[in-house]
Chain A
Amino acid sequence: MSLFQRTRPAPIEKLSASGHNEAPIPLVDVYDPNRKSTVGLEYMSYEQLEEFGRELDAVRQRVLDDLGQEDADYIRRVIRLQKWFEVLGRIGIFLPIFPPAFIAGVVFLSLSKIIENMEIGHNIMHGQYDWMNDPMIDGKRYEWDNVAPAQDWKHGHNFIHHTYTNIHGMDRDIGYGLLRIDDDQPWYPNHRFNLPLSFVLMLFFEWGVMYHGIELDEYLGGKMSKEEFQARKKRAYVKVRRQLFKDYVVYPLIACAAIPFVGWWAPVAVLGANFVANLVRNIWTFLVIFCGHFPAGAETFQEEDAQNETRGQWYLRQLLGSANISGSKPFHVMTGNLSHQIEHHLFPDIPARRYREVKVDVQRLVEKYGLRYNEGRFSKQLASVVRQLAMYSKKPSDPYKVGRSPESRALRRAKREAMKATQAA
């Protein structure tokens, strides 16, 4: 990876199909583009929704206008801290002969990986610091310390998840195609294992993110070309190889130099320490993300309802679909400020350190319009997530909520036929 090589991430090909310019946003009902979206009508009127959108736009603009040296200094300070943690960690794990240093090394390395993925990687790849025009802090160039390649993660996360947040059938992050986390998701027998599956996903979360980014289901569903799928697989393969090579080959090899002082097991200790650090990072990121989206009360939406939505409705959907975790300042940094998940979803492209300050405005609007602001302690949100996972693992009594029930099958068939009929017409 060169800092100055002009990468060409936008694949340019001559257009073959027409209608390319039909934007995914706003989600348009192709049959009735004038029908108004129903998102948020239980809370406010269309006029109020417009006003709500304008007010939030103003908040965003105020922050953007105010960005400057302090924000630049902040992210550089965090990067410096993370890099020192990493260096200290790497040194520490080379000293397994002295257990306190070794354990401190594992802790520092874990902290470093967490901060790199959350406050640095996630936020930089959102383009939060693109205004700095620094190639090292550029959302387009940044590659994070994670087996998921940045390019595919950015597509699935920045675009799909942040645009179509919590819309069934569009946001692939509702349960990640693995778990049932919402009442409106059809129940399948594998959902009986919601809790054990979540536990395994927690331990191998970066692998889950990587696999999710390949989008096998989209390919199998015929929504993705074979070339695109192959390219995704290739990128993932290259990244996985690079990550594994670094953590489990290069550093253990370097540790061979310590064999005369430590013993034959020095490389094994280093390999183990890297594994533990990755594991700790996986567990932490999983917990933060699950507590940001899946506690009770986070709302989900149907595609039909979100079609033709306005900017205000888009904002409202973001607000209703996310949950905050309260905590201390170091805690917020460790979560990449995703503890301010609501503010992050409203303004994904403003530097995350500003979420604390815009929270005041968001809460003012929440009060003004009588909305719900889902916030709670880490333990409370986590307990809620566990309860949700347990609750939705049970087979619903309503046959329409069971994926394989005759009723659901009939409904799906009817929908398919209706679709065909309208397409024919």
Chain B
Amino acid sequence: MGLIRKALASPVIAKVTSPHHPDEYLSLVHPMLTVEAVRGRVVDVIRETGAASTVLMRPNGAWSGFVPGQHVEFGVEVDGTRRVRVFSVSSSAERKDGLFSVSVKAHPDGYVSQFLHAGHLKPGTVVFLSPASGDFVLPKQVPGEMLLISGGSGITPVMSMLRTLADRGHTGHVTFLHYARSREDEMFSIELDALGELPFVDMVRVYTRDPEPGAALNGRITLDHLERLGLDPRTTPTWVCGPAGLIATVRDLYDELGAADQLTAEYFKVPSVNLDAEDATGSVTFDASGVAAANSGATILEQAEAAGLSPVYGCRMGVCNTCAVKKLHGAVRHVISGEVCADTDETIKVCVNVPVGDVAVDL
């Protein structure tokens, strides 16, 4: 953060702008001029293989960098509404030009990913970010031997790790084990081919539906795959990122061998909206109070109360806005209008919204 930004972020300035945040004044001068709100200007939108897109951005001075493996909130404004999703940073932390990128696979129900992939995001647009966060990271002391397992679009955080290691001229050994449905469905195919040539990388890609002729490994992950690669889970620090099924398998495998302490995992959440779900499925998580309950189909307010919480509420008819809280993820349906909202981190009135599948709210 520059000296001027530090000065503007000081409590003295906040006293002058009180009760408003200094950013509310500064961002009127220029949308990128903020001291706390992280923003980025889109430099390029690159179409990757496997129906994915990479957004290359120049962050403003409020950005304090990232550790490979972390994710960031990514918000674009469409028709007046800010749509926010959480994406993993995919670029190397060693870039010298100050840019960073997120990569995302176009998901049939993912509003933002579709928006990116359809080419609606133009270079020069200002996007709304958050500081990078997450514990699924490349450690400061990189172990001499490490295994990076990924499935599908879960490749993005480990891709950032691998790119960073390549830029640093890593001297240890890395096994990069990636599962995709087919080569057509795989992100970063060409770059992965190139990275596989590096001396420290053991690049193994398994295409589960459409295996390459003569491939050493086939199908979904088993202990056999690791053994054939000459890896002992008990002595190999491992990072795994991907769909829940992959992580569950790997976790069971490591647990059985007593190697759970070697494993770091990150689930890759894709918002799945079942628009026809009249019946109640999934569970409702009240994040701030650490309570979860099976979705009963009632409004979130009623479900919170049934779970023993007493959130503030007012009219209970969607008028007074007293009960509005942040929905952290998942989809909800408005009981009056029938409208389904699936944005991350948006404000909803819990008295008139019912969950559609898994939902987490800040209650």
Contact = CB atoms under 8 A, between A and B. Distances in A.
Given A15-B308, A163-B315, A246 B16 contact: yes
A21 B314 contact: no
B81 A25 contact: no
A69 B288 CA distance: 33
Given A12-B289, A163-B314, A133 B343 contact: yes
Interface stretch (B159-167, B244-252, B320-328): B320-328
A159 B320 contact: yes
Interface stretch (B21-29, B135-143, B215-223, B260-268): B21-29
Given A6-B362, A9-B312, A1 B321 contact: no
Nearest to A71: B80
B324 A61 contact: no
B118 interface: no
Nearest to B17: A246
A172 interface: no
B322 A155 contact: yes
B82 A132 contact: yes
Nearest to A348: B319
Contact of B80 (A25, A73, A139, A163): A73
Interface string B14-57: 11101111011101100000001100000000000000000000
A2 interface: yes
A292 interface: no
B317 A25 contact: yes
A144 B20 CA distance: 8
A192 interface: no
Interface stretch (A36-44, A123-131, A176-184): A123-131
Contacts of B36: 2-4
Interface in A20-49: 20-21, 23-25
Contact of B321 (A87, A134, A139): A139
Interface string B203-219: 00000000000000000
A33 B25 CA distance: 52
Interface residues of B, number: 56
Contact of A20 (B20, B28, B305, B320): B305
B181 interface: no
Contacts, number: 160
B51 to A, nearest CB: 26
Most A CB within 10 A of own CB, among B305, B308, B315: B315
Given A159-B315, A163-B315, A20 B310 contact: yes
B315 A25 contact: yes
B18 A246 contact: yes
A6 to B, nearest CB: 6
A398 interface: no
A233 interface: no
B288 A12 contact: yes
B347 A21 contact: no
B124 interface: no
Contacts of B16: 246, 250-251, 254
A335 to B, nearest CB: 21
A250 B14 CA distance: 11
B311 interface: yes
A252 to B, nearest CB: 12
18 contacts: A3-B23, A4-B131, A14-B309, A61-B337, A64-B337, A70-B80, A71-B80, A73-B80, A132-B81, A139-B347, A143-B20, A154-B321, A154-B322, A155-B314, A159-B322, A163-B314, A250-B15, A348-B319
Interface of A: 1-4, 6, 8-15, 20-21, 23-25, 57, 61, 64-65, 67-73, 79-80, 83-84, 87, 126-127, 130-136, 138-140, 143-145, 154-155, 158-159, 162-163, 239, 242-243, 245-246, 250-251, 254, 311, 348-349
Given A83-B25, A131-B80, A163-B314, 12 more contacts: A3-B36, A4-B36, A4-B130, A24-B315, A25-B315, A70-B80, A72-B77, A73-B80, A83-B24, A127-B321, A127-B324, A162-B320
